[in-house]
Chains A and B, each alone.
Chain A
Amino acid sequence: MSFEDLLSMLRDMHPDIDFETAEGLIDKKVLTSFDVVSIVAELSETFDVELGAVDIVPENFNSARALFALIQRRENE
């Protein structure tokens, strides 16, 4: 999956958030734990990307770039 694919998925879920530039999504409480679980579920269903508990930390969800970097690390494993 490309960064564009991820952006498009996130935009579908939260069209009010500019994922290209937004930072601190968790720290600023833009995304809640419910949102994180939905994103994890959507990644699994749409892209077969399986994230585990060690991945679910605020740093990995604070921006689309951070999330994409995490996905790439998992795909390269």
Chain B
Amino acid sequence: MKSFLSYLNQTADRLPDKLAFSDGETGLNFAQLRQAAAGVGACLMNSGAKGEPVGVLMERSPDQIAAFLGVMEAGCFYVPLDEQMPRERLERIVRTLCPRFILTDAKNMTAAESLCPAAEHLLFKGAAAFPCGGRLHEEASGDDLSYVVFTSGSTGEPKGVSIRERSLLDYAQSLPRALGYDESLVFGCQSPLYFDAYLKELLGVVVSGGTAYLLPRELFINPISLIKFINDHGINALCWVSSAFSLVARLRTFYAIQPEGIKLICFGSETLPVKHLSAWQQACPNARFFQLYGATECTGMSVCYPVAGPQDPAKPIPVGKPFPGTRLYLINEEGKIDTEGEIVIGGDCVMAGYYKDPVRTAEVFISDPANPDSRETFYRTGDMGRFDEEGNLIFIGRRDQQIKHMGHRIELGEVESAALSLKGIHEAVCCYVADRQRIDLFYTGPAQPWDVVIGLKQKLPGYMTPSRTEQRSELPHLPNGKIDRRTLEQREYRR
């Protein structure tokens, strides 16, 4: 089958001098992006890399994206290792992967060497300049892995979602069509590159010939500068997590400055309050709005809903209908297809599994609910949903203790097990206060709250550390001995 990188060949042939990715200071046009990816691919192959994980520990930059594509060009799969991840998490990921090669930049070289001393460390700049023909592979098997991204796991051990090239190709065919991408779009990329969320921009650029700016993180501390950056660079497409849209609306940014010329707005991963949506709709009257829904295990987004006009605040905004080629069912507790139940997704988008983790893979895979004899695998999202009268999917909530916080998927159990691993903590339980977008941790034991916070900051990424850490003399229990979360929540929040 045709490779994902053949899209980049086509676009670079057509628009070689057009800007592909920029961070506002440095950028790569399509010819440079292809050349860098081809160089990295040739360098890795020359070093003997083949069908194996290649860690990428680099600053968020256009070069990092070229590195990802270069790893694929070598027939390997990339694993983003973020400089901002806590050391312990990075070490766990590296232990699972045992990569022989790490691509890095000058700034992260020392960190990369100490993280994984046994690996060969390749500097991106040198690798990108490796002599090569400059064209990328056109053919692929489809079964080879393209990337592995790590997500939160309830036991504290991150899970490596392994995505095959055929899933990426399926996404490349479905998402740009569903959202009406074209080469006039200029994306403002909000997400970090260590998750799959940035694929929405990657496809907008590589497949549709658009341009994407990686928005500097600091801009989200300065909403007026954020909108100014958008206007100054002609950015007209925003695919962000809902909390980023909420942040701008909540800070009443549009009273001070208005975005100009926005054509496309896609939000998802969390609920966007209708009042924040309306603020964006008023500020961007010519934009098409979409709500998206999907799972990392199904290569990003699988469902979309065009949001037109004012929405009823009393009703949830539907997440819509699945992309063509994606099959989605709701199953009840008996595993039968129903009109309300757990959302399960099938099709080429479904991951190969969790990396080197058959046990947790088996927990989330089921056979086709419509045809149990078929060999097709479906992914259990753990999300509950129902269909409305028009057949649109409505998201209801989670089946377990997983939450979405600031666009990140978090298992509260992972925060709890990190807390329990600290000295002086006997019991720990987390509550998510959704309306205030806050994680609260309650614990028993002699540890002082500030020691707990400092300990957690060393173990968990910033977005997972609780906003409030409270010591209690005791926590409520159920007859089976488990912590009684419901009673605790009622007591703490009078819910």
Using CB atoms, name the residue of chain B closest to A41: B436
Residues of chain B lying within 8 A (CB to CB) of residue A54: 224, 256
Complex contact A15–B450 (CB within 8 A): yes
Q: Is B308 an interface residue (CB 8 A)?
A: no
Question: Interface on chain A toward B: helix, strand, loop, or mixed SS?
Answer: helix
From B222, B436, B462, contact of A34 by CB (8 A): B462
Q: With A33-B217, A34-B463, A38-B438 known to touch, is A56 a contact of B449 (CB < 8 Å)?
A: no
Partner of A53, one of B257, B436, B469: B257
B279–chain A nearest beta-carbon distance, Å: 12
Q: Mark A8-40, 1 if CB is under 8 A from B, else 0.
A: 000011111000000000100000111011101
Interchain CB contact under 8 A, B218 and A58:
yes
Q: In the complex where A16-B454, A33-B247 touch, is A26 in contact with B221 (Cβ < 8 A)?
A: yes
Query: B457 at the A/B interface (Cβ < 8 Å)?
Result: yes
Which secondary structure dominates where chain B touches chain A? helix
How far is the CB of A4 from the nearest CB of chain B, in Å?
Answer: 18
Knowing A15-B453, A38-B467 are in contact, say whether A52-B251 is a contact too (CB < 8 A).
yes
Q: A45 at interface (Cβ–Cβ under 8 A)?
A: yes
- Give Cα A38–Cα B465 distance, bound, in whole angstroms: 13
Contacts of B256 in A (CB 8 A): 52-54
Contacts of A13 in B (CB 8 A): 467-468
Does B178 reach chain A (CB closer than 8 Å)? no
Also in contact, A12 and B468, with CB within 8 A (given A38-B438, A53-B257, A61-B221) = yes
Interface centre among A26, A40, A52, A53 (most CB of B within 10 A): A53
B221 partner residues in chain A, CB cutoff 8 A: 26, 32-33, 36, 56-58, 61
- From 238 to 252 in chain B, residues with beta carbon under 8 angstroms from any chain A beta carbon are 247-248, 250-252
B406 touches A (CB below 8 Å) = yes
Complex alpha-carbon distance, A37 and B256, angstroms? 18
Interface residue total, chain B, C-beta cutoff 8 A: 31
Tell me whether B220 is interfacial, beta carbon within 8 Å: yes
Q: Is A66 an interface residue (CB 8 A)?
A: no
Which residue of chain A has the shortest Cβ distance to B456 in the bound complex? Answer: A16
Within 8 A of A (CB), among B444-489: 449-450, 453-454, 457, 462-463, 467-469
Contact A45 B436 (CB under 8 A): yes
Instruction: Pick from B217, B222, B250, B468: contact of A37, CB below 8 A.
Output: B250
Q: How large is the interface on A (under 10, 10 to 19, 20 to 34, 35 or more residues)?
A: 20 to 34
Shortest distance from the beta carbon of A7 to any chain B beta carbon, whole Å: 14
> Closest residue to B244 on the A side, CB-wise?
A33
Tell me whether A51 is interfacial, beta carbon within 8 Å: yes
Bound CA span A32–B256, Å: 22
In the complex, whether B320 has a CB less than 8 A from a CB of chain A is no
A56 close to B222 (CB less than 8 A): yes
User: Contacts A32-B462, A61-B221; is A53 near B253 (CB within 8 Å)?
Assistant: yes
How far, in angstroms, from A61 to B457 measured CA to CA in the complex? Answer: 20
Q: Confirm or deny: B437 has a beta carbon within 8 angstroms of a beta carbon on chain A.
A: yes
Give chain B nearest CB distance to A16 CB in angstroms.
5
A45 to B436, CA, bound (A): 10
How far does the alpha carbon of A26 sit from the alpha carbon of B221 in the complex, in Å?
Answer: 9
Given A33-B247, A58-B221, verify A16-B453 contact (CB < 8 Å): yes
Q: Known contacts A15-B450, A56-B224, A58-B221; can you find 13 more A-B pairs with CB under 8 A?
A: A13-B468, A14-B453, A16-B454, A33-B220, A37-B437, A38-B438, A40-B251, A41-B250, A51-B251, A53-B224, A53-B253, A53-B255, A53-B257
Query: Which residues of chain A have a CB within 8 Å of any CB of chain B?
Result: 12-16, 26, 32-34, 36-38, 40-41, 45, 51-54, 56-58, 61
28 A-B residue pairs with Cβ-Cβ distance under 8 Å, sorted by A, are: A12-B468, A13-B467, A13-B468, A14-B453, A16-B450, A16-B453, A16-B454, A26-B218, A37-B247, A37-B250, A37-B437, A38-B436, A38-B438, A38-B467, A40-B251, A41-B250, A41-B436, A45-B436, A51-B251, A52-B251, A52-B256, A53-B253, A54-B256, A56-B222, A56-B224, A56-B251, A57-B222, A58-B221
